[in-house]
Structure 1
Amino acid sequence: MTTSFLCGTCGELHEGLPTDWAWKLPDEVWALSTDERDARAKWTDDLCQLDERYFIRCILKVPFQELEGYYGWGVWAEVAEKDFRRYLELYSEDASGEPPVPGTLANAISQYEAALGLPVSVQFGDATSRPSVHVPLSTGHMLAVVQAAGMSNASYHDVLVSTGALGGP
């Protein structure tokens, strides 16, 4: 059985199953009315500022246990202004050698209760890659555990169902 999906980003049909899900904006910014968002926030596909708060779009990678590769959650991390500014300075360069910066997860991931606001570590990437996000194991959060141990095929199926990529069981 061949499976394919229509990509919401490029509009093309791709073979296989989706291996990522992304949020357009941080949850708090998205929750604003259109008028308030337009008045208080500035954003691109990669960066967002809400008043004096700063966000960077990142990828939270969860490796598969039984498949090659990983599932990528396209999340936003809130970071300090100085770290946001540093990211801007290095935006078109390879910044993967920079030390990780602290942040907090700015999107709720329904599959992982209480993920919104989790402390994270943000590692800048090269000029063609979004930064990666790591949830420290010290948080004790299930997202940190699954990021370290990997996602089973059953969990991957549940993610695909919950994101609408597949119908129910």
Structure 2
Amino acid sequence: MSEAFVCSVCGQTHEGLPTQWAWKLPDLVWAIPEGDRESAADFTEDVCAYDGRFFIRCVLPIPFTHQADFFGWGVWAEVGRSTFLRYLDLYEADGSTEPPLPGTLANVISLYGAPLGQPVLIQFGTASERPMLRLTNDDMSPLAREQRAGMGADRHHEILKALGAL
């Protein structure tokens, strides 16, 4: 029996197991009552500005050890104004040669106990790729350790079950 899932974005059935999970907005903005959110914050699927704070949607990859590719946590990073503006400058260009820039995690990944404000490094990508997040080398959190070591099939299933995706 092959495994498959129905994509929540396109509605199509895809073979295999989901390899990504994403937050629609930074936790701070998601907490704004739905009726007030659009007037309080300026956001798209990729960027968000709220109350003088700036956010970029990124992918925090956890490499698989049992197959090629990675599990992508689609999270938001809070960044400084200059990083935000640089990202906007490069939005339709190849920013992959830019040096990594600092930010902080703007979503709680409860499966790891990953808190808001955890330091990250942001690597811009090409115009068709979201920026990638890497936790810092001195970070010894469970999330950082798994990002460095990777996850096997059992852990992948464990995460999907915890998320209600299986």
Shorter chain as denominator, the TM-score bin is over 0.9
User: Which residue matches 1:38?
Assistant: 38
Q: Measure, in 1, the Cα distance between the counterparts of 2:165 and 2:101.
A: 33
C-alpha deviation, 1:35, in angstroms: 3.4
Q: Measure, in 2, the Cα distance between the counterparts of 1:101 and 1:154.
A: 33
> Is contact 1:137–1:145 with CA below 8 Å preserved after alignment?
no
C-alpha deviation, 1:158, in angstroms: 1.0
Segments of structure 2 that go 5 or more residues without pairing to the other structure are: none
C-alpha deviation, 1:34, in angstroms: 2.0
Name the amino acid aligned to 2:105: L
User: Which residue matches 2:163?
Assistant: 163
Using structure 1 for the length normalisation, give the TM-score: 0.95
C-alpha deviation, 1:41, in angstroms: 0.3
Alignment of 1:1-169 (within 5 A): 1-166=1-166
Would you identify which runs of 4 or more consecutive aligned residues in structure 1 move more than 6 Å? none
Structure 1 residues 117-143: Cα deviation after superposition (integer angstroms, max 9, x where no partner): 200000000010000000113021111
Using structure 2 for the length normalisation, give the TM-score: 0.96
The CA RMSD measured in Å over matched residues stands at: 1.0
Identity %: 51
C-alpha deviation, 1:37, in angstroms: 1.8
Structure 1 residues 8-37: Cα deviation after superposition (integer angstroms, max 9, x where no partner): 111111111100000000011101112332
Segments of structure 1 that go 5 or more residues without pairing to the other structure are: none
> Is contact 1:56–1:79 with CA below 8 Å preserved after alignment?
yes
